[in-house]
Structure 1
């Protein structure tokens, strides 16, 4: 390809988006969904590769805020709308688009780039590592009970339309963001994503509903869900599909879970995206009857190693010289001294002797405090050069709570 990718113009949106729909299987999205993504598209952050009047490659970005260990919300490029036409594979289009995009993010002072991957094998070569994972469960309501904490019975529940009390729900969510790395600051417009419920995408489920959990008039939790009725041999065996579930206290979370497990005619409660350390794993009487599965979720890479490592805090004091390998963003290559702790950190260039050699993908994986650098070293993505440096650094990077991405982008 000789033509350079160029910024998307608003007049080209329909052509560009239809090409993306084909890249992801060809099914046209509902007018509601297309309308929302048109509204959220940042045209100056979207690159399209054209072959004549056809879009053959694309990469976009959303301006996101990502919670990191310590509670700060860090400007992050949310990489999205990535695709290459089947007719133009293996011509270097994706590599060129990604290179241009990462250079733009660096110029825009975004220390991090993040994405969710439709195919897990694509993005490691560009320096992205799996920074969060999610747990999916299918709870057997006939064989699983809940061990609920004190105060659960005092939580009042009421069912409403999905968009009811939206300001209160968003305020509750916003209060949770700083307490768990990986959560996204929901900027204007993003509250609408959770409300998308086009009939053509329901696959046999009911329309979505909202259940609110209140204590003394204060909102302490909420969940959006749908029901999928089914009958097996004349017996009811439906599924409750839980879309969102957020709570500020254990009793509210337990009350919402108990509500779902007690729904008439339903044999399964399905939750598809919960944190690795989610409370329900300890509330259920039989975890095996919940069939937990672990999935890769958020892929992350430092765009600016120094700024990224200085933007978070650390579980224990750390003073380490890192030799970073980053063949895709060469400005990150070289030695960096990271020093800091629970109150903050600095990360600057240095010529001091190296303590730990690390690939940028390992930094992306460990950045939010989930997977340990020690495990990454066992995979060859980090190497200890000063005795004790790996254990000390790996411990400092950890988060007391598992990082979690609550929704995609």
Structure 2
């Protein structure tokens, strides 16, 4: 059934039909500035869009709002792969702002996610200030770096010279690189298991998106006849009167151990006619930061990445494990999804967890947004309490819960959606 969103005319929110996809997608592009995509980009996204999980808002024949969801499986602390709705392609026409369209789409979407039986919704935010009011909290972060390779040196660990590197066409070794990616997915919270078709995202290479850089290149790392890592990158040539100052644009790097990791970074540092590595969307705890001689000349910038929303609070907290024993009662506020509001007792450890409703006195008071931020182990409840967003009601409960929720490795989302 459609939803009437305006008093003066029939504005309808409903599920997307396949024959409406072009109009729906064009409205999305316009909401993000109206720059056309290459045919390859459009074809790829059309192949990945899940029509039955997409909604639109229509004013007569005009599409004025879009939102979709991908069927993801997200790694959580403990290594489990949990169903999650990857909220995507959210846009409202500029002619229809401040009329409740976004709120109506978020309402419909979270109700749908709950009906599908998925405990989590996740998104990357073009404007982070928008989604907090719907219960999403920033849960992962990534590092961008601009490394001055003329002044920064690497100190590599033993075994680095045992790794052999060779160029390969990215498409020709896709199966091998995807297998290496898949080995890392259970090891780091925030990573997404590749669903069929998503492997093509890493090969998307429209000339319009290169900003003057080369087509995508790939180097494989091998040791004892086994593939143990890879790097995808571009080179952007540039010159000044004193000589070359090209930029290496790092797109993706995976390595099975420290020596492989160092060998791939050393390769990037040594590419001829370049003086900078532009590394984007890297884990905040990645090991290269401990190999460089001068971190200050790497110009690190940390940005929010994945925002998490607990749709079914109990199921979500039971889906992960906890790095220390925990027994704590949360008093949870959740105005947008009121079925989550109230008191919940979480008990758990490294083997599993239980989260059930309780009438016992609360130990910590917070909103579902804070639980979303802390969920993957990259944001501490202690730091949220320092901002006044978590209140400790039982002495010691904050430290207990904060330690338990932590992760030994920083959560990381390797690519957007």
State the alpha-carbon separation in 1 of the partners of residues 386 and 171 from structure 2.
47
CA distance in 2 between partners of 1:131 and 1:92 (Å): 26
Quote the Cα distance in structure 2 between the aligned partners of 1:229 and 1:258: 19
Q: Match for residue 67 of structure 1?
A: 75
Question: Counterpart of 1:227?
Answer: 235
- Aligned position for 2:383: 375
Aligned to 1:282: 290
Aligned length: 409
Matches within 5 A, 1:258-407: 258-407=266-415
- 1:290 & 1:330 partners in 2: Cα distance? 45
SS in 2 for 1:369: coil
- After the TM superposition, which residues 8-407 of structure 1 pair with which residues of structure 2 at under 5 Å, given as runs? 8-407=16-415
Q: Deviations over 1:200-259 (max 9, x none)?
A: 221100100111001111111111100100001251000000100011111111111101
CA shift for structure 1 position 4: 3.3
1:300 deviates by 0.6
- 3-state secondary structure, aligned to 1:178: helix
Q: CA deviation at 1:164?
A: 2.1
Cα offsets for 1:186-212 (capped at 9, x unmatched) = 111000000000112211001001110
CA displacement at 1:380 relative to structure 2: 2.1
Q: CA separation in 2, counterparts of 1:168 and 1:245?
A: 13
Give the drift of 1:372: 0.4
Question: How far, CA to CA, are the matches of 1:234 and 1:24 in structure 2?
Answer: 40
In the alignment, structure 1 segments of 5+ residues that lack a partner are none
TM-score normalised by length of structure 2: 0.97
Give the Cα–Cα distance (whole angstroms) in 1 for the partners of residues 72 and 184 of structure 2.
Answer: 16
Cα deviation for residue 382 of structure 1 reads 1.2
Structure 2: 5+ residue stretches without partners: 1-5
Structure 1 segments (4+ residues) deviating >4 Å: none
Distance 1:344 1:28 in 2: 48
Instruction: State how far apart, in whole Å, the 1-side matches of 2:286 and 2:185 are.
Output: 15
Partners of 2:262 and 2:63 in 1: CA distance: 48
Give the C-alpha shift of residue 335 in structure 1.
0.8
Cα deviation code 1:349-390 (max 9, x no counterpart): 111111111111100000000110011112222111111111
Q: Which residue of 1 aligns with 2:3?
A: none
CA contact (8 A) 2:11 2:60 kept: no
SS at match of 1:55: strand
Cα deviation per residue 1:25-57 (whole Å; 9 max; x = unaligned)?
110100000000000010010000011111111
CA distance in 2, matches of 1:394, 1:241: 37
| CA deviation after TM superposition for structure 1 residue 71, in Å | 0.2
